[in-house]
Structure 1
Amino acid sequence: MSISLANIICITPLECFFFFCPVTNGNFETPPSGGFASDGLSAGAAAIPGWKTNGTVELVESGQKQGGMILIVPEGTHAARLGNDAEISQELTVEKGSIYSVTFSAARTCAQLESLNVSVPPSASQTIDLQTLYSVQGWDPYAWAFEALDDKVTLAFRNPGMEDDPTCGPIIDDIAIKKLFTPDQPKDNAVINGDLEEGPWMFRNTSLGVLLPTNLDEDTSSLPGWNVESNRAVRYIDIYHFSVPQGKRAIELLSGKEGIISQMVETKPEKDYTLSFALGHAGDKCKQPLAVMAHAGDQAENIHYTPNSNSTFQTASVNFTAKAERTRIAFYSVYYNTRSDDMSSLCGPVVDDVRVWFSRAGRNANTGFLLPAALGWWVLLLIFA
């Protein structure tokens, strides 16, 4: 497929070469053939360049008024609004069998709950509730993953709602796609992608991170190796806008028990292991106390964030004995934390650098040291007796 770099959303040609992001006009800034209307445009079959539409789809402009409301455009000047049961779609050329993550920004236009369905028919689909819980900006970036079952797929966004007010409906913007790679499992760590460096596309100019909604399939996850078990999202953050314990990426846990990340790791039954991780503060004015509930098999520990003055993070660990060939590890925030500057945006503790290792070597090393030392003392006693 021929791709115009001018129409690829805010990504340099080099980054597109490495990450494969062929979403044409993903920021909706390419004008229709007749130009942008000052009060929005009701889209016909080919009104939005690069996209097919079905139903009432409008191009809206930042600052545009609707009744007593001002419409929110996540980035740039324009975005697309989907009316009742309306859909936009685009055909993409992909690599069959690979996993891709779609990053997009979405906002509500009315007070009631609105949802957005993102799909790659006929095999992958998820409906995401758009909640104004995670920031006061009125919009949030989200990520959703799919497996490409063919070398050409159709990416679709649909408003599944049937609102009484036809002017309601979700606004979407900033759509990009990234091919994911599952990192190799380290020899000394049973956790896949424990450093959380492999994940969805993140725009450098977006300071909100990326929300990862519920996903129970670790094989098709925007965060390779990991599940998001609960009915609320967790936030994928970067070093450019947040404090990250190590590397460039980490996870911020939100919403208490409603925001859980987990992974099944390979273990040997009846063997002792240690789960360790970095626990930190995102630097986003999140009110303390911060604490994580860390699960490893049948063990669970409540660990509070108490760093020393020279560090913004600490290392914590949980010891456990494996009961099976696969053991579940999981993390969630103990508290429902909000930011101190707006008193409403959800935030929480940061988890990074997750490791699970077989701890027999450590105990054997200690035992191996003590036994020769004890024998040495007996030899000395016999010599000088």
Structure 2
Amino acid sequence: MEPVKSGNRLAEALRSDTTGGLLLIGAAAIALLWANSPWGNAYESVRHFVIGPAWLHLDLALEAWAADGLLALFFFIVGNELKQEFINGQLRDPKKAMVPIVAAVCGVVVPAVIFTVINLGQGGEAANGWGIPMATDVAFAIAILAIVGRHLPPALRIFLLTLAVVDDLIAILVIAIFYTGGVNFLALVAVLLPLGLFAYLQRGRGLAAALNRSRVPNWVVYLPIIAAIWTLVHASGVHATIAGVAMGLLMRTGKQPGEKMDPSHRAEIGLRPWAMGLALPIFALMSAGVVFDGFGAIFTDTVALGIVIGLVVGKLVGIAGGAWLTTKLTSGRLDDSLAWPDIIGMSQLAGIGFTVSLLISELSYPDNASMLDHAKSGVLIGSLIATILAMVVLTIRNRHYQRRNAPPTVGTGFEST
């Protein structure tokens, strides 16, 4: 996707994945330090502070508002960008789109199998956490990729985006089916009405065109529709970030006569700075404050061990292996600008489970504080190890591309022959 300029320096800076990544990681570091400091109780009080209308069942903790509400904005940006790639970009070719999709499925299955094998014979609740190492934290993964991969091929970011969205959709389905008391299918059916209206307004013809020409600001019409979509998805029991993905994928990417810019790119200009500069840092601040239980749990507890191996080894083997098998057994192929070492580094980066993994940890061991603490420590340590290994590989690849793309050195005339 070509970058979209807004003409505002601050907005342009906040649109950058690198800037957003630094803000995200900085907020996560503050959360970790705060949670493990003498003021840790104050941190817990802040993120568990409840606010919102109880009559809509939206009296939620600030942590939940950040993970379900603010993160939905980021997922809208992700869905919108994927729509542009599927319509006008690299993913137009089904042979290229197939590889990250299959890799995502394999990257979910292999870590779950590894965790299950390690914990199957332990008895009790241990095996309940098989879903913990499945998820990739797309926000953190993209942030790290942006920081260490300035010279990496853009196709690698698209590969990661596609993989992470599919990964998250699978994780959301797993949560809905295996880790919740049930799904409110009435709310799921009801959300089709505002989603259909949202899709209709994207056509830019008829009533939608009249709206665009009127003096009424678009947000006056869109805001109630967006609120209805998010509220109904939240009420359904499905993770509310799926509302953001759905709306992003419904955005129109082509211009109608008389339009200076299509709605997809207008949304990109207006919303990305808010997503990268506000939504993601607040989300990290509210979600990343894990009380660290030390390295000992990795070697003494099978739950922590299963999570660490699942995130560090399972993600790498599942994603890289699934992508390689797809290119060998089907017509799927990598983008021409990518090499397999790039995929290996990106696959390791996908081992950053963090947010969704922490959520599944809470759902897996609601009545076992000890297992929950070990699970959270496993997520933290596994994600950290995956990050370090990925940064090593991707930094090496980044230098490779930097050298390859550097302009040739001009001779001085004094070289020896």
Q: TM-score, normalised by structure 1?
A: 0.20
Q: Which has the higher strand share?
A: 1
Of structures 1 and 2, the larger Rg is shown by 1
Higher relative contact order (CA 8 A, sep 6+): 2
Q: TM-score, normalised by structure 2?
A: 0.19
Q: Which has the higher helix share?
A: 2
